[in-house]
Structure 1
């Protein structure tokens, strides 16, 4: 855990420098520490709609030593423009002095902490961590999840499905550079039968996975974070709710988990990742669906990690 350093600093980190300060093993450990830290406070985030379907997100969080605010825009239409869909920063302050300590690249923090949260959930909940891993969506989050799962689990094979053939093939090439077997598929539902590990990380503009999962499946659904967004078919969600284990990243998901809300599920009754971390033995039955909506506490964990990792 990071302990406040009285020496005033203010460092602006670019994407590469931010990534270097967020190694997955340390980030995953810090995520678990944040969930167990009683000093952590996370006010509700503000999601302001912007013209054209974009959103401005303002996400504060703090603990006894560190306060952060993530300020980012999410613009789905940028995918068709060849631009990144997420822009912004995470500003990190020292609580004791009020001084700004770091400014982290927002998209990099979002990608790496989201993938690390999925990895933490998979490590604690997945019935079968050997793979193959099916990734639906070959953008920034697809690459981040590939990197995180390749480093944190024993997968040897990855299957990529994407609306963009070029993006899918680029991610396959990246997977092969990591020593993994990799291939592109055009039908994610058909691939589901052969993949016990699944990540959906699309712009969540429509259902991309609807077939019922195998009994040892772990699905991390990360694309949808508003009631209107969706990646998973309602039958799939209800099937896991009735026959498996359904966990959300935080209690905030009760008003953000579009996949589950559109399936008519009572999200307030579901276990959260904090329940999993704090339990002596969390019972997992059947296929697992982990619904991740995002939380500023994850960004706080990233800031704590970045403060603790010295620059090279």
Structure 2
């Protein structure tokens, strides 16, 4: 059985092939039960995310242990679907970072305006840089990447790192002004209070929300959600776990019908996504094991896809 390090996983998942693999997986469909959550104690949690297709079985195991040196750790097991043989174990953090960012960039290809030139990344944590890299890789016309964070130093450090890698990146301390001038606003935070206001969004803007994964987490306010054409990665996950949708739905700010499509429907051509240049679009992702399946299969058996 092969073990893939984080560096090996990143190297095996260049952005365009990964985006193509994700699109194919969403279009084809796969068995992906809603993730299992098990309380190990009052503080510690075990998450299990399985998915399978006719070729492989993938299981991602995630531990969330706040008292540990690294709060969240993950590993991905890949088995042959026909024989059940264990083929590989992959670094779970690297795979999650890569597939999360690529899924959002893939959705933005359908939902953001074709002439989008300015990307604002809200957040400066572990995921934020990968979001910027993925969007830039799948949108060659991007001319500006702005990074905003609650603390100036990490935002500046991330912007400098992205610039050193060839992205047109810089930090900003003006969230409202940056939002008003952005074509794509990507939020990758763990905020429980709205950061981006709907009143700040320019006509034609695209919101990419990936940070919140629990009902009490918010990255944008109700006005931003109400103004948007909404697409989710999956109905099952987003309508249960995404506070940016769950809260306004519970208060009647939006209706269930305003959550227009899930990503598979968009990619299959069953939903048009953006209807006009002034539409504000919103993609909300909480993650699905279909993404883990597509990425892991690309790493372990690229010739069998």
Task: Note whether the superposition's TM-score is higher than 0.5.
Answer: yes
Is 1:277 paired with 2:267?
yes
Is 1:196 paired with 2:183?
yes
1:7 corresponds in structure 2 to none
1:178 Cα shift? Answer: 2.6
Q: What SS is found at the alignment partner of 2:100?
A: helix
Q: What SS is found at the alignment partner of 2:195?
A: strand
Q: Judge which range, 51-60 or 115-124, deviates more.
A: 51-60
- RMSD of the alignment, in Å? 2.2
1:236 corresponds in structure 2 to 224
1:96 Cα shift? Answer: 1.0
2:239 corresponds in structure 1 to 254
Q: What SS is found at the alignment partner of 1:255?
A: helix
Aligned 8 A contact 1:41 1:61 in 2:
yes
| 1:97-108 superposed matches below 5 A | 97-108=83-94
Aligned 8 A contact 1:134 1:160 in 2:
yes
1:144 corresponds in structure 2 to 130
Aligned 8 A contact 1:261 1:267 in 2:
no
> TM-score w.r.t. structure 2 length?
0.88
Q: Judge which range, 166-175 or 292-301, deviates more.
A: 166-175
1:44 corresponds in structure 2 to 34
Aligned 8 A contact 2:78 2:89 in 1:
yes
Structure 2 unmatched ranges of 5 or more? none
Q: Distance in 2 between matches of 1:150 and 1:26?
A: 15
1:306 corresponds in structure 2 to 299
1:67 corresponds in structure 2 to 57
1:280 Cα shift? Answer: 6.3
Q: Distance in 1 between matches of 2:133 and 2:82?
A: 36
How has the CA–CA distance of structure 1 residues 177 and 205 changed in structure 2, closer, same or farther, with 3 Å as cutoff?
same
Q: Distance in 2 between matches of 1:167 and 1:51?
A: 32
> TM-score w.r.t. structure 1 length?
0.87
1:181 Cα shift? Answer: 2.7
2:77 corresponds in structure 1 to 91
Residues paired across the two proteins, number: 292
Aligned 8 A contact 2:32 2:290 in 1:
yes
Aligned 8 A contact 1:260 1:267 in 2:
no
